[in-house]
Structure 1
Amino acid sequence: MNIQWFPGHMNKTRRLLSENLKMVDVVVEILDARIPVSSKNPEIDNITKNKPKIIVLNKCDLADKEISESWKKWYNSKGYTSIFVNSIDGTGIKQLKNKMRDLLKERIERDRQRGRIFRPVKAMIVGIPNVGKSSLINKIAGRGSAATGDKPGVTRGKQWINVSNEIQLLDTPGILWPKFEDRRVGINLAITGAIKDEILDIVELASNLFEILSESYPEHIIKRYKLDSIENKTGFEILEEAGKNRGCIASGGEIDMMRISAIVLDEFRSAKIGKISLEKPEDIKEV
């Protein structure tokens, strides 16, 4: 699957991040807990430079809990400040707020001793499209402060949100990078919805997903789609069988591949297939 995705507004977002960096105290980079490597834009580290950073792994409720524990240990071993969050039910939000304050504790105390008027911690929220930035901000703020949606590209410009007298958040549009050097990265991003389905071949994408799951979570798809066997079958063949079992039949008795593909992608993204992680720490050399 060839995916090239770098529309003009992504260039504008890159400039926006660079221009506003001097205004913030800490960067909160949001990753998808199911794909921590693929959802990490390599350009963000270059843009945010030496600013203190917190890595938030959102959508942890959709990820494989055992693999998430492995990621937590991996981040700790590398010295990263990382927090697993569910921006829907609020898991990890209190911990995130405390961590933002902790990172700036010395500066706050220094300002207090110098008699300077207290100002809130300013945090820039960054991440790829559809990773949950706006939903996270709304949960932190406790109100509908930022525009949200289940499609990438909802946030169009920067937004300052006052969380309290202690914290201000700068929401920014999602930013992808010019080219995916690793084919699997592009597939992972597409599967999880970071790239609009409208520009993709969803039958090929659903087939790719079944190829991956047949190796890592075979029991999940066998149970969900009532499959007899997936041994020695391609992802497309598994998709065909799933379509037949789900009654996705078009006129003439042909299997409606578009319909079953849309169903499979939706059920993966909503964890109806199961809590699944597509990346493990041992699969990569570095982040």
Structure 2
Amino acid sequence: MSQEIFPVVQWFPGHMAKATRMITEHKKKVDVVIELLDARIPRSSANPVIRELVGDKPHVVILNKCDLANPKATKEWIEFFKNDGIHAIAIDSKNGKGNKQLVKTVESLAQPIIDRWLKKGIKGRTVRTMILGIPNVGKSTLINKLAGSAATRTANKPGHTRGQQWVKVGKNLELLDTPGVLWPKFEDQRAAARLAMTGAISDDVYDLDSVIKQLLAYLEEHEPTLLHERYKLTEEERTSVDTMLEAIGRRRGCLVSGGVVDYDKVRRVILTDYRNNKLGYITFDGVDEEPYYVDEE
């Protein structure tokens, strides 16, 4: 089955444009930049605007939510960034896995700066870092875990953190939380679909039918065993995404009067299954995968 890609969304709320300006303003105040990516979609969640804003600042990439991703793929991505000269660490911000390694890496990257301070007679200044990433990637959760308290507000909703907060971590590190920033235009609509699947984009603004069809097509092509085990689909039912949708709807009882499948309901069942990790540990972005562009009239 070929995976057909359709335009999914164009979304750039005004507060994100404001966030971009804020990041530019505060970049000069920080010593090290932490870029937080979703380990399931390392390429799709890497905002090119952020890379431009980072410039030549010491930079570490964090692959968050590694507990939801394919472990083998996560190792491949860490090696990919290493080969590109970028420090990369896999973490699970909810349980704190990888946080100690993160702090050590930040301190190591900041050491040349600290040495320059000492030569100038400056002692006791804390290392300042800024955490950047797309919405709902786990920035506030990470800061809370590092600080050991609910230092920042968190919500499982894109666009929640809109202000700016400095948080002290230990004796020598300060973190600046920033609002999630998406880029002005999704040229790669496959990436847009994956951002929607993982919850980086508000569920109110994208075409759910297109996203779910792309999810099913991906599973059929790359993870057919996971798809079959969850929904018990026959070979005949797997001939197209439409036949899969209908079969899953009937098995899950997503029906209206007359035995007609309620497609909106079954789409949401599948999305919930994926987000609750009932479809397995999936990494959508491969290190060798090429972007997929859709021309928009």
Give 1:80's aligned residue: 86
Is 2:189 the partner of 1:183?
yes
Give 1:139's aligned residue: 145
The worse-fitting range, judged by mean Cα deviation, of 215-224 and 114-123 is 114-123
| Residue 111 (structure 2) aligned to one of 105, 109, 112 | 105
Q: Which has the higher contact order (CA 8 A, sep 6+)?
A: 2
Deviation of 1:250 (Å)? 1.9
Work out the CA distance in 2 between the residues paired with 1:167 and 1:195. Answer: 31
Deviation of 1:246 (Å)? 1.3
Retained in 2: the 8 A contact 1:64–1:277?
A: yes
Give 2:9's aligned residue: 3
Deviation of 1:245 (Å)? 1.0
Kindly provide the amino acid, as one letter, of the partner of residue 30 in structure 2. V
The worse-fitting range, judged by mean Cα deviation, of 252-261 and 111-120 is 111-120
Kindly provide the amino acid, as one letter, of the partner of residue 160 in structure 1. W
Kindly provide the amino acid, as one letter, of the partner of residue 126 in structure 1. L
The normalised TM-score by structure 1 is 0.95
Work out the CA distance in 2 between the residues paired with 1:249 and 1:35. Answer: 33
- Alignment RMSD (CA, Å): 1.5
Retained in 2: the 8 A contact 1:62–1:270?
A: no
Classify the secondary structure of the residue corresponding to 1:199. Answer: coil
Work out the CA distance in 2 between the residues paired with 1:58 and 1:266. Answer: 20
Q: Which residues in structure 2 correspond to 1:32-111 (within 5 Å)?
A: 32-111=38-117
Identity of matched residues, %:
43
Work out the CA distance in 1 between the residues paired with 2:108 and 2:263. Answer: 51
> Which runs of 5 or more residues in structure 1 are unaligned?
none
Retained in 1: the 8 A contact 2:9–2:207?
A: no
Classify the secondary structure of the residue corresponding to 2:197. Answer: helix
Kindly provide the amino acid, as one letter, of the partner of residue 39 in structure 1. S
Work out the CA distance in 1 between the residues paired with 2:137 and 2:222. Answer: 23
Retained in 1: the 8 A contact 2:11–2:205?
A: no
Q: Which residues in structure 2 correspond to 1:222-233 (within 5 Å)?
A: 222-229=228-235, 233=239
Q: Which residues in structure 2 correspond to 1:1-287 (within 5 Å)?
A: 1-229=7-235, 233-284=239-290
> Which runs of 5 or more residues in structure 2 are unaligned?
1-6, 292-297
CA displacement, residues 117-167 of structure 1 (integer Å, 9 cap, x when unaligned): 311111101000111111111111111111111110110111111112211
Kindly provide the amino acid, as one letter, of the partner of residue 97 in structure 1. V
The worse-fitting range, judged by mean Cα deviation, of 138-147 and 101-110 is 101-110
CA displacement, residues 6-36 of structure 1 (integer Å, 9 cap, x when unaligned): 1111110010000111110011000111111
CA displacement, residues 93-133 of structure 1 (integer Å, 9 cap, x when unaligned): 11001001111112223323443231111110100011111
Work out the CA distance in 2 between the residues paired with 1:282 and 1:230. Answer: 32
Paired residues in the alignment total 285
Classify the secondary structure of the residue corresponding to 1:24. Answer: coil
Deviation of 1:68 (Å)? 1.1
Retained in 1: the 8 A contact 2:213–2:241?
A: yes
Deviation of 1:232 (Å)? 5.7
Classify the secondary structure of the residue corresponding to 1:252. Answer: coil
